[in-house]
Chains A and B, each alone.
Chain A
Amino acid sequence: MATVTITVNGKKRSAAIEDRTLLVQFLRETAGLTGTHVGCDTSQCGACVVHVDGKAVKSCTMLAAQADGAQVTTIEGLAQDGALHPVQAAFREHHGLQCGFCTPGMIMAAVDMINRYPAGLDEETIRKELDGNICRCTGYHNIVKAIKAASDTMRGMAQAAE
């Protein structure tokens, strides 16, 4: 047992937990944030993707203790003042989800991808960058469309701000 302190979506959360606790368990069970999902036990599906210190990682493949002192953003941390994040809005607009199980991981992966490609994304790059996120429902077409649209919108916003 050790006390771990993680800043989740801007709020510091401390808890005494077993060292073997996974980050995803800390988020779901200790912090009560169940938007981050677990879709596999082989580190392959990406349903559990969150950002740790600004980078997308699989929270099922990291101990909470490894994230001690880190800043974590989950799907619950994206919307600001009740307004959806542009990526969330694009998933809704372009019907980028059916059952929604993979969606939190898809959206966290998409936000990370858009951050890493500030000059914009084409369809081929988006598909390649989605290697670590599996969806059983959509056939990916609308997910790719949503990410492309969000990337275009966010570039426009960045240019307007300049």
Chain B
Amino acid sequence: MYETTYHRPKTLAEAGSLLAKSDEAKLLAGGQTLIPTMKQRLAAPSDVIDLRHIEDLKGITETPSGGVRIGAAVTHAEVASSDIVKRQLPGVATLAGGIGDPHVRHMGTLGGSIANNDPAADYPAALLALGATVVTNKREIAADDFFTALFETALGEDEIVTAVVFPKAEKSAYAKYPNPASRYAMAGVFVAKLGDGSVRVAATGAGQGGVFRIGAMEQALGSNWSADAVAGVKVSDGDLLADIHGSAAYRANLLTVMAKRAVAAAG
């Protein structure tokens, strides 16, 4: 690892000004992506700004409209075991409880996961399927506009994710086929029926451009919410990832299987 300088701000404003001061500074949340990257010398931030001691980034609360607000520095383990999340958004609790392993879940955070936008990460599927809103220290960004490309987001240079607000959902569920070695998604499908009755389906792990919605499945589930309704929907393998772990056709098949499992789990 190259040399770096560690900072521990207590407030969001302090973190923001530290970040703005240097071109080469990076935010450090759970470190479960950033530290391995620094150890491999693929990242060499001059400064790392620890977000784990900022109160404003913590906490899980129910919104007045029945949605859930989760602070950016909330860990995967905290989300998985939250009574509010389990009751309101069971799919998000399952998703968080299936990220990596227990040790990764004790450190890794929601904010770090979405800012990184790994094409095989789990959270992007939940945000996109639920039509969540990403709140930053500068503005609010709809999930539809947030995930722009592989490892790319709409975040500006000095922008910090502070929370994610999920709307009320009648049903939500997530099913993933983890890569047996890394635990990241080979294919993961999040299905949601929102408070207004609309249906949204998002897929991760499989798209060449990262997370994406599956319109044909949304239509099928809109008129018939059942595992059978998605069983016949095939995702075209033209835009899917192909690598040593699996071909595009294999991932296309996994998407249908994961969608069936997710709908069955949602009930």
Closest to A43 in B: B36
Are A19 and B5 in contact, CB atoms less than 8 angstroms apart? Answer: yes
A8 at the interface (CB under 8 A from B): no
Chain B, range 135-187, C-beta contacts under 8 Å to A = 181-183
Chain A, range 108-123, C-beta contacts under 8 Å to B = 109, 112-113, 116
B 19-42 binary contact with A (CB < 8 Å = 1; else 0)? 000000000100110011011100
Q: Which residues of B contact A57 (CB under 8 A)?
A: 103, 106-107
CA distance A56 to B102 in the complex (A): 8
**Known contacts A20-B3, A65-B6; is-contact A131 B100 (Cβ 8 Å):** yes
Interface size, chain B (Cβ < 8 Å): 29
Are B106 and A55 in contact, CB atoms less than 8 angstroms apart? Answer: yes
Q: Which of B31, B48, B182 contacts A61 (CB 8 A)?
A: B31
CA distance A42 to B183 in the complex (A): 13
CA distance A46 to B106 in the complex (A): 13
Closest to A108 in B: B103
**Known contacts A46-B103, A57-B103, A109-B103; is-contact A62 B31 (Cβ 8 Å):** yes
CA distance A132 to B6 in the complex (A): 27
Q: Which residues of A contact B38 (CB under 8 A)?
A: 20
Interface size, chain A (Cβ < 8 Å): 30
Closest to B3 in A: A20
Are A131 and B101 in contact, CB atoms less than 8 angstroms apart? Answer: yes
A41 at the interface (CB under 8 A from B): yes
B12 at the interface (CB under 8 A from A): no
Interface centre among B38, B50, B103 (most CB of A within 10 A): B103
Q: Which residues of B contact A61 (CB under 8 A)?
A: 31-32, 35-36, 107
CA distance A106 to B195 in the complex (A): 44
B213 at the interface (CB under 8 A from A): no
Are A112 and B4 in contact, CB atoms less than 8 angstroms apart? Answer: no
Are B102 and A66 in contact, CB atoms less than 8 angstroms apart? Answer: no
A156 to chain B, nearest CB (A): 24
CA distance A116 to B183 in the complex (A): 21
A145 at the interface (CB under 8 A from B): no
Q: Which residues of A contact B104 (CB under 8 A)?
A: 43, 58, 132
Q: Which of B4, B31, B48, B102 contacts A109 (CB 8 A)?
A: B102
Chain B contacts to A: CB under 8 angstroms: 1-6, 8, 28, 31-32, 35-36, 38-40, 48, 50, 52, 77, 100-104, 106-107, 181-183
Using A20-B3, A131-B102 as known contacts, list a sample of 6 further A-B pairs with CB atoms less than 8 Å apart, ordered by residue number in A: A19-B3, A22-B1, A41-B39, A66-B52, A68-B8, A132-B101
23 of the cross-chain contacts (CB-CB < 8 Å) are A18-B3, A19-B4, A19-B5, A20-B38, A22-B39, A43-B35, A44-B181, A57-B107, A58-B103, A58-B104, A60-B39, A61-B31, A61-B35, A62-B107, A63-B31, A63-B48, A66-B52, A112-B102, A116-B102, A131-B100, A132-B102, A132-B103, A133-B101
Chain A contacts to B: CB under 8 angstroms: 2, 18-20, 22, 41-44, 46, 49, 55-58, 60-63, 65-66, 68, 109, 112-113, 116, 129, 131-133
